[in-house]
Amino acid sequence: MKAEWKIALVSPAGYQGAPVWPTAIVGAKLLTVSEIDKKPGAKSQEKMAVSRPMSLARALVAALLLMPVMGCSTLGYYQQAVSGQLQLIVNRRDLDAVLSDPEVRPVVKQKILLARRVSQFAERELGLPVEDTFSTYVDVGSPYVVWSVFAASEFSLDLKKFCYPIAGCVSYKGYFSPNSAAQFSQSLAAQGLDVFYGGVAAYSTLGWFDDPLLNTFIERDDTRLAGLLFHELAHKIIYIPGDSRFNESFATAIERAALLRWLQSQQQGDAFEDYLVLEQQRSQVLALIKSAKVELTAIYASTATDAVKRQGKAQVFEAMRARYKALVTTGQVGRVFSEWMASEINNAGIGALADYNDWVASFEVWLANLDGNLPAFYREVQQLATLDRLERDAFLNQLAATRIPE
């Protein structure tokens, strides 16, 4: 059995040494419905999922309708997903009630007030669909709200897909229980797959529910908290079933653009400069990982024996760590991605990073070409979403080959 991965994933923006990690899971996305644009004389095309509130009764009905066609293991998975989401719903507290509660610690109240200001800015200045998102608070009693599992073959960087009747296929599987995530990870590892799983501080239900503020992320520093809120709200703009790389890269690009504008608006010069430094460090490490990904792809595509491929794989990981250590030693990257680099690296970890970063630069070039006009950017990205995946990838790959204008 391959080594079991246990990495604490604490930041969606790569701050304080944590890698960029997912903030949305299957347990939430299985409750979304994607529309198919069926135009006269044209083939069906993927279209962004409609973001709209879903009542508790409708959520239960949707879950119950799915259950009769599932096997026992699948039924159990959906039951834990629905149960976990319902627990969040029933435990929500209105923010005013939390703010007036003398038992709530001052630091939590301060962060709630900050989240309100960030949400107002997101709606007013960025055109993000806030509505009643982040208007309530839940303490889940643990440092993470969900745990996500990723898997890939020994000689492939393509992540295993997990498919669902409504959500489509995504590159990870989410659990509200760490033990369930660990057990599923072990079952995949027993099949010879490279496996990674870790805790996630936040996720988006894409507008089907009014997502609450959670104790799992509310006390992070102001910059990271604002970035996370922007990222989650971006998921309400667009979501393409089965294309995690597109969805997460778009949300990350919006997060970064929004955060820069937020910090500028708050005249937080020091925080703004710190953010730029961290972004530069993050870019350096991602470039290093991307280089390793290219080497691995060549090794896996070769006609070499499995033993030779296995050796080459290990050498690439070792060389990547050595190059990262050199960057740290010379003070070029601080502690960005330190936890990820210190852990056992495998294809699942590399693939997960790709899903949340590969198209970020492309989206940033696109936004820059529109002179930072976010409403126009949203509209054009929604148009791109009507194309099939090959056409989308070709377009984004072309953008990636260009430089962002100065």
Residue 251 pLDDT more than 90?
Answer: yes
In a domain, 2, yes or no: no
Confidence of residue 203 (pLDDT cuts 50, 70, 90): confident
pLDDT tens figures, 42-62:
333 333 333 333 445 455 444
- Residue 58: inside a domain: yes
- Evaluate if residue 194 carries a pLDDT over 70: yes
Going by pLDDT thresholds of 50, 70 and 90, the confidence category of residue 69 is very low
> Mean pLDDT for the chain?
81
pLDDT for 163 equals 82
* Least confident range of 66-70, 115-119, 242-246: 66-70
Mean pLDDT of 220-225: 92
Confidence of residue 292 (pLDDT cuts 50, 70, 90): very high
Any domain includes 37: yes
User: Under DSSP, is residue 267 helix (H, G, I), strand (E, B) or coil?
Assistant: coil
Q: Find where tokens 């990982």 sit.
A: 289
In angstroms, the CA 81 to CA 2 distance is 27
* Gap between the Cα atoms of 364 and 224, Å rounded: 19
What does the pLDDT read at residue 373? 97
* Domain contains 1: no
Q: For 141-153, what is each residue's pLDDT tens digit?
A: 999 999 999 999 9
- Choice between 259 and 244, residue whose per-residue pLDDT is larger: 259
Q: Residue 153 belongs to what domain range? A: 7-400
Please give the Cα distance from 104 to 32 (Å, whole number): 33
- Residue 39 CA: distances (Å) to CA of 43, 45, 110, 152, 386: 7, 9, 50, 37, 11
Determine the pLDDT at residue 165: 62
pLDDT > 80? residue 30: no
The confidence score (pLDDT) of residue 204 equals 81
In a domain, 393, yes or no: yes
Q: Is the pTM of this model over 0.85?
A: no
Total tally of structural domains belonging to the chain: 1
Q: Is residue 406 part of a domain?
A: no
Side-by-side strand order, sheet with 194-200: 7-8, 194-200, 146-152, 173-175
Q: Residues 178-191: pLDDT tens digits?
A: 999 999 999 999 99
Does some domain include residue 405? no
Region 214-241 average pLDDT = 92
Residue 189 or 336, more confident:
189
Answer whether residue 36 shows pLDDT above 80.
no
Is residue 78 included in any domain, yes or no? yes
Taking residues 221-250, what's their average pLDDT? 91
pLDDT of residue 255 exceeding 90: yes
pLDDT of residue 20: 28
